[in-house]
Amino acid sequence: MDKFAPACPHVAVLGDAADLTRYNGRGQDLTDMVLDGRITGVGGSCKAGEKNTTVLASVAPHFDLLRGPAAPGPTAKFSYSVWVLDGDRVLDRQSYPVTVEFTRNIDKLSLLGDPVNLVLPVTPAKSAAAYTVWFGFELTPDELALNRRRGPR
> Do residues 46 and 128 touch, judged by C-beta distance below 8 A?
yes
Each domain of the chain, given as residue ranges in start order, spans 10-147
Q: Decide: pTM greater than 0.85.
A: yes
C-alpha 137, offset from chain centre: 6
Write the pLDDT tens digit of every residue in 72-108.
999 999 999 999 999 999 999 999 999 999 998 899 9
Classify domain 10-147 by CATH architecture: Sandwich (2.60)
User: Cα–Cα distance between 139 and 35 in angstroms, integer?
Assistant: 12
